[in-house]
Amino acid sequence: MPDLNALQTVIGYQFRDLGLLRLALTHPSVAHEQGRSVQHNQRLEFLGDAVLGLVLTSELYDKFTAVSEGPLTKARAQMINRRTLAEQAKRINLSEYLILSRGEEANLGRSRASASADAFEALIGAIFLDGGFEAAKTFVLHSFRQAFGELTSIPTLDNPKGELQEILQAKSAESPQYEMVAATGPDHDRNFECVVTHGGVELGRGTGKSKKTAESEAALAALKKLRS
């Protein structure tokens, strides 16, 4: 059995019911190998996924009052994905504490990012059941602060032009306009500068090695301005 006291120290939470913590760490392979009704962490993973989503949704909603549903949804999706969850699990060395079947251990199951990501969500579910929503919220926000800071700005978006248009068209039918205002440098190494306007008002400027990059940078500058 793993050293549960060490894990509790790492996560900063002491369980009243250690059985919940063991359950969060128990991989489904244990039940499959033993061939009988053995509880594992999939149900806790299901619960933890919902708790995690609620905590981060609430945090994004409260902190970014000027941001519409679309960008908030995409920001949440960026924060809650398998890669991010695996990174969170790696940060606390969660794979070291997994309870695996002999076969899964032999097949290097402990090194699988998916197993650690699932256990991380199950851990959130276990904390929720053991200590309530506030305890789970404290753990989630502390964990995600490592990756996303204090959420003073919305996580970087993949489509700033789309996000800017969505925000502006929530208030007006007019779309933002992009204009190239400068192109400098030799033909093989050009630098472009773009300005984005809305209703005749300049919202932001951006530069880049292509017109597309310059427009995206202008949209990012406009988003930062609008959200400040």
Active site residues: 49, 121
Question: Tokens 């053995």 belong to which residue?
Answer: 38
**What are residue 3's phi and psi, to 5 degrees?**
-80, 95
AA letter at 104 = E
Residue 47's nearest CA partner among 120, 134, 148, 138 is: 120
Neighbours of 34 (CB within 10 A): 10
Q: How far is CA 59 from CA 62, 145, 182, 226, in A?
A: 5, 12, 40, 19
DSSP helix/strand/coil, 195? strand
Q: Is 25 in contact with 119 (CB distance < 8 Å)?
A: yes
* CA dihedral sign of residues 135, 140, 143, 146: negative
Looking at residue 176, the DSSP 8-state letter turns out to be: P
CA triple 16-18-19, angle to 5 deg: 125
| Token representation of residue 141 | 């926000």
